[in-house]
Every structure is written in structure tokens, then in C-alpha cells.
Amino acid sequence: MNTAEPLRLTKLAKRAGCAAKHPPGFLLPLLGMLPPITDPNVLVGSSTADDAAIYKLSDDLALVLTTDFFTPIVDSPRDFGRVAAANALSDVYAMGGKPTAALSVVGFPDTLPSAVLGEILAGASEIASEAGIAIVGGHTIKSEEPIFGLAVVGTVHPNRVLSNAGAKPGDVLILTKPLGLGIISTAAKNDQDTKGAITEAIRVMTTLNRAAAEVLTAFPVHALTDVTGFGLLGHLRNITAASAVTAEVWAARVPVLPAAREYVNTGIAPGGTRANWKFLSDWVEYTSDVSQEEQLLLCDAQTSGGLLAAVPVAVAAEVVRALSVAGTLASAVVGRISGEGAGRIRVVSTANA
């Protein structure tokens, strides 16, 4: 490495952030080969493709268990730690839980100064402190690329678990952060971020889903997930498949970072986004007025994206108002659960299409 040049972590990684995940088409068949979980205390396992596992300890206490880690999505080591920590903590919020403690998961090249890892850890500790928890330990190995994330433990009441599996026909879909993070981070990595949009993307990615979760758990939410590597439509597919329902998404109502829309129109999109689009072709139908670029935005591999909730239509307006008051980055109604079915999704341009 040329020490005369500023360190850019993204140049050390082939794939960035949650776009480095294996696509659902790779993972789901493998998970289907595993033996069924028979422990009655496992309230949520891998069968519903949820964000975390839930293990019941008593009638009024269950653990939320998750881990999430990836290669650098931003150049700054401290920001990398902040983004990775916020992303991992989001899985607990997406189950209706509260984080309790975390462990670091680290892969670090011995060609980099140890101070770089110190900055990554400091950034993660900053976000953990904002979430009200400590990073209490972890494990580190040597690796060719920097890797960082957290294993997080949280708690939730067994009767208040929010999973992919509860969506009901007539529910409204609400999203709490804008899309486009994968596209913007790819533009920045490839020196194509002409608008400097990575600054706003980092602000979005380092914003905890804590406030959004606190609002949503105060309402009768039927299903909840966070939007990360599989994109909006990929994570919605997990909800529709687990809930045995169908959904409709209104593309024009989905919040998108403006630069991402501009960049995708020039052909910029991460490989993970394109892999999501390909996998979802078996699940998603687009009307003719939804462009290829719009489809990619809806499939864009997010890192530390927002929460996606299925809520009864009777409380939807109140939920949106409460999210807005809480200062969430978005509080948009983006679609609905349209009926019972086998998990398929229809994407139209507007709600009246």
C-alpha cells in the first residue's frame, strides 16, 4: 500500500457492506436442507428468514440473537465501525426487541496499521453507546480484507415478538428510511459520486432504527423487518412468503435518495442489487410503467436501511404521524398486503394503477 495516499477502506474490498451478502437464491435452498428445529423454546428460527432468532427463557423473557458483519462500505475506519454497528443493532429492533450487549466480529489484514482497527472499534462503540449498550468482547482473525460487525443479544417479551410471519390482508406497508444506499456507496467506491452523496448516505446508515422501533412497538404491528442486503422487495418477499400473503408496492411512493435515482439512470448499481433483481423475478411482477431503473432501486442492497412494517390500515395514519414526530428519516406508506397467497408481489407505479 502506498502510504503517501490517504487510506480508502473501500479499495481493499471486492464488495461493500451488505452488498457482499450471498443472495437469497443461494441461501434459501441451503437453509431448507437443515434439520428442523425441535426445541420448543425457539420461538423464531431460520424457517421464516427473519432478522434474528428468538429464544424463550421464561414466560415473560426471551432473548434476541443475531450477528451481522461485512467488508467496508465507506472509506473512513470510524464511519465503517459506526455503520456496521448500526446495521447489526437493527436486527434486534426489527424483532421488536431491545439490545442488551454486543460482541465484535473482526477480520483484519496484518498489512494495515493497528490504529485503523482502533478507529473502527471506536466508531462501533460510539453507536453502541447511543443504543444504550456496551461492546463487551469479541473475536479477531487475520483476513485479506477488513471485516467488521457485531453479534448482538437483546431481550423481548415472548408475546411481543415481531417477525416476518404475521402480515394480514389489508395491512399497510410503512418504510422508515429512504432507499439508494447501495447505489450511492458503489458510486463512491468507483469514484463516480459526482454529487458527494456518500455524506448523506453515511448519515442515513449511522442513524439507529431505535426511534422507529420505539414508535412501531407501541402499535399493533403485524410484521416487521429491516431493509438491508436483499433490498426492499427482497425483505418484503420474506414477509409475504412467511405470512402466506401477497403484496402490492407503489413505486412512486417509495422514498429514494435523489442521487441514487440519478446514478442508477447512468447504469450504476452493485452486484448484490442485480443479484436481488434476478432472484426476485420469480416472485415479483412489475407493471409496464415501472422502469428497469426503478426496479433496481426497489431491489437495491441496503446497508443499515430502515424498518418495513405491516400495520392495520386503521392505525396507519397515526403510525405515520408518530414516526414523523419521532424524527425518523422517512415515514412513508409504500404499499399494502393485498390478499392471501404464496408470497408474490406486484409493483405498480402509483396506488391507483
- Model confidence pLDDT, tens digit, residues 217-255: 999 999 999 999 999 999 999 999 999 999 999 999 999
Give residue 159's pLDDT.
Answer: 97
Q: What is the pLDDT of residues 181-223, one digit of tens each?
A: 999 999 999 999 999 999 999 999 999 999 999 999 999 999 9
Q: Which three cell numbers stand for residue 19?
A: 452488498
CATH class of 9-160: alpha beta
Burial class (CB in 10 A: 0-12, 13-18, 19+), 6: exposed
Q: What is the pLDDT of residues 57-79, one digit of tens each?
A: 999 999 999 999 999 999 999 99
Q: Which three cell numbers stand for residue 43?
A: 420461538
Residues of the chain within CATH 3.30.1330.10 domain(s) are: 9-160
316, pLDDT greater than 70:
yes
Q: What is the pLDDT of residues 163-176, one digit of tens each?
A: 999 999 999 999 99
156, pLDDT greater than 60:
yes
Give residue 238's pLDDT.
Answer: 96
Taking each continuous run of H as one helix and of E as one strand, the counts in the chain are: 11, 13
- Which band of pLDDT confidence, cut at 50, 70 and 90, is reported for residue 264? very high
Q: Is 18 a catalytic residue?
A: yes
Give residue 244's pLDDT.
Answer: 97
| Mean pLDDT, rounded, for 311-331 | 97
pLDDT-above-90 percentage for the chain: 88
| Mean pLDDT, rounded, for 144-148 | 95
Query: CA 140, CA 88: separation in Å to the nearest integer?
Result: 17
pLDDT-above-70 percentage for the chain: 95
At 232, the amino acid letter reads: L
- Which band of pLDDT confidence, cut at 50, 70 and 90, is reported for residue 26? confident
Place of cell 424483532: 95
3, pLDDT greater than 60:
no
Place of cell 442486503: 229
Give residue 32's pLDDT.
Answer: 77
- Which band of pLDDT confidence, cut at 50, 70 and 90, is reported for residue 1? very low
- Which band of pLDDT confidence, cut at 50, 70 and 90, is reported for residue 19? low
Catalytic residue (choose from 9, 13, 16, 18): 18
Q: What is the pLDDT of residues 34-60, one digit of tens each?
A: 888 999 999 999 888 899 999 999 999
290, pLDDT greater than 50:
yes
Q: Which three cell numbers stand for residue 179?
A: 432507499
Place of cell 450504476: 268
DSSP H helices in the chain:
24-32, 77-93, 114-130, 181-189, 198-205, 210-216, 231-243, 258-264, 271-280, 292-299, 313-325
Residues of the chain within CATH 3.90.650.10 domain(s) are: 164-348
15, pLDDT greater than 80:
no
- Which band of pLDDT confidence, cut at 50, 70 and 90, is reported for residue 17? low
Average predicted confidence (pLDDT) for the chain? 94
Query: Which CATH number does 164-348 carry?
Result: 3.90.650.10
Give residue 16's pLDDT.
Answer: 61
